[in-house]
Amino acid sequence: MIDPVFLDTPLYRCEALESRLGCAVSVKLETANPVRSFKARGTELVASLLAGSGQQAVVCASAGNLGQALAWSGRGRGLDVTVVASRRAPAAKLDRIRALGARLELVDGDFEMARERAAAIARRDGVRLVEDSLDIETCEGAATIGLELVEAAPSFDAVLIALGGGALATGIGHVIKALAPGVEVICVQPQGAPAMTLSWRERRVVTTGSADTIADGVAGRFPIPAVLDDLLLVADDAVLVREESITAGMRLLLDHAGLVVEPSAALGVAAVLEDRDRFAGRHVVTVVCGGNVDMDAYRRWTGG
């Protein structure tokens, strides 16, 4: 059900990064597709199922990438797509959602406010609400990345996964733990938006009053209980990284891998930078999960 343009993405060793990071590094690149993030793997499933059952509309809240992906997937299947996002989301993401033909509604609050508003629209209009990380299709979509990692007959020791709502981590994590249980599943979140990591550590939902990070794609505050339950089954660790490590990771990926990534996609490299001893001599895969950035901010972050 997933358009092949989103599947079998590049997976390759990036030796130029390795001397800087002190370990073997493979990149799983999820940015070279029409929406520049992994999210369409899940929205392709959602939209296929909806179109197959005769539905005509769908709504989601989005930090920016899910909305683009749902807009793309819905457009191709004749679905009427509404995306609710925070007015503070990167303009590049909002512009692309509109350009893909979705109706975009902006809220003044953060991502959690967008979630509330999207739910209200779904109730009002009686249309399907896509809840990222809660809806199984969003996790199954991400899980196809795990299948591709395992199929590559990997020699790697650990997978570094950006942790936000949890779809990416639980999706990949379930596959890894089922098919390659010796590989460590490490989730990485910004210190400034630590709700899910704190929840994982305390094994109960911990919410935070605010989120303060440039990694807009993972800046949630209210972990979903069912997703936490899943994460507790599959994550070997959840770590928090500093903002300066995220920008350092973005710079390394630009200067030594030629990759333009959004802050969330640099979390894995940031985790290695903050704990080199842990990874020394090991082989890690980092999932470069998205590349949608406002270029002015990107140039500032990467010192261009």
Does 115 bind its own copies (CB under 8 A)? Our answer is no
Q: Which of 7/49 has CB closer to its own copies?
A: 7
Residue (of 240, 267, 237) closest to 252 by Cα position = 267
Give how far the C-alpha of residue 294 lies from the chain's centroid of Cα atoms, to the nearest Å.
Answer: 17
Q: Using the rule CB under 8 A, give the single segment among 43-51, 112-120, 127-135, 251-259 that binds its own copies.
A: 251-259
Of 33, 65, 82, 199, which one interacts with its own copies (CB under 8 A)? 33
Of 52, 56, 76, 99, which one interacts with its own copies (CB under 8 A)? 99
Of 186, 248, 250, 254, which one interacts with its own copies (CB under 8 A)? 254
Strands 24-29, 11-13: pairing is: antiparallel
Does 260 bind its own copies (CB under 8 A)? Our answer is yes
DSSP assignment, residue 290?
Answer: B
Tokens of residue 57, six digits? 């509309």
Shortest Å, Cβ 214 to its own copies? 17
Q: Which residue has the tokens 């999207």?
A: 118
Does 100 bind its own copies (CB under 8 A)? Our answer is yes
Spatial distance between the Cα atoms of 256 and 268, rounded to a whole number of angstroms: 15
> How many residues line the site for its own copies (CB under 8 A)?
31
> Under a CB-based contact definition with an 8 Å cutoff, are residues 109 and 119 in contact?
no
Shortest Å, Cβ 54 to its own copies? 28
Shortest Å, Cβ 14 to its own copies? 7
Does 77 bind its own copies (CB under 8 A)? Our answer is no
Q: Which residue has the tokens 């660790």?
A: 237
Q: Which residue has the tokens 């630590």?
A: 194
Sign of torsion, CA 38 40 44 46?
A: positive
Residues that bind its own copies in the complex, under the rule CB under 8 A: 5, 8-16, 27, 29, 31-34, 36, 96, 99-100, 254-255, 258-260, 291-293, 295, 299, 304
